[in-house]
Structure 1
Amino acid sequence: MDLELARKILAEQPFSRLLGARLTAFGDGEATLELDIREELLQQYGYVHGGVLSYAADNTLTLAAGSLVGTGLITSGFTVDYLRPATGAVLRAHAQVVRAGRTRVVSRCDVLTVDSAGAETLCAVAQGNIAVLEPAA
């Protein structure tokens, strides 16, 4: 799978379109997903909602897997640890494959915020298992 196909798959997800997610890097077992932080994505204390951070980790874990094994993937499980409140201008999730097997891929992800000056803050880390629904022939 290449960057163009990965962006097409992301664009086919209504929830990703709602959030305004964009794929900024893809290939060689890695993927980076970004979205602009806006008021609709915040919780009552003014931080990015944990569900948004989880979404970013989930999709990026699977996209990283797809860069190695192609399409026909689905997240079978993942864990996320929130490290600090997420504030800033952009939410960025970067994932990389730890191990790619025939039926399962393990990926890990850092979720960061980027402020208006470009400073990054690590907000969450995640690790996931991605099931290969259609193994390559």
Structure 2
Amino acid sequence: MDETSPLFVISVAAELAGMHPQTLRQYDRIGLVSPTRTAGKSRRYSMRDVVRLREVAQLSAQGVSLEGIRRVLELEDEVTGLRARVRELEAALADEMMNNRPGRRVFAAGSQGEVVTIRAGTRVRRENAVVVWRPLER
């Protein structure tokens, strides 16, 4: 079991979060904390849900509106996702650096902004065209 395992019925989750069960139902309705559902449609809260409920309570006590709380939680989730993506990219880069394969590919930007693959040690040819702009005559 991990922190995302749906373990707690609504009364237990409410007690752990220090809230009334009706408050948890309201938060579920507006999408602040959405627990998983059983086949019988009853709510099951994970430890992560309980932590989030406590965070909602703390923000609410500080005077943040429910819409503000929803936005804060959304941004925190986005930051968490971006941090995970950065870790993935760092691992991939480290793997490439460790393997240091000869003839590996290098990427550059093309004239239209597209990604262009080139071999290591080669240069991208750049156009030396001159473009003259003249306004339309009226």
- Same fold? TM cut 0.5: no
The structure number with the bigger radius of gyration is: 2
TM-score, normalised with respect to structure 1? 0.22
TM-score, normalised with respect to structure 2? 0.22
Higher strand content, 1 or 2: 1
Higher helix content, 1 or 2: 2
- Bigger relative contact order, structure 1 or 2 (CA pairs below 8 A, ≥6 apart): 1
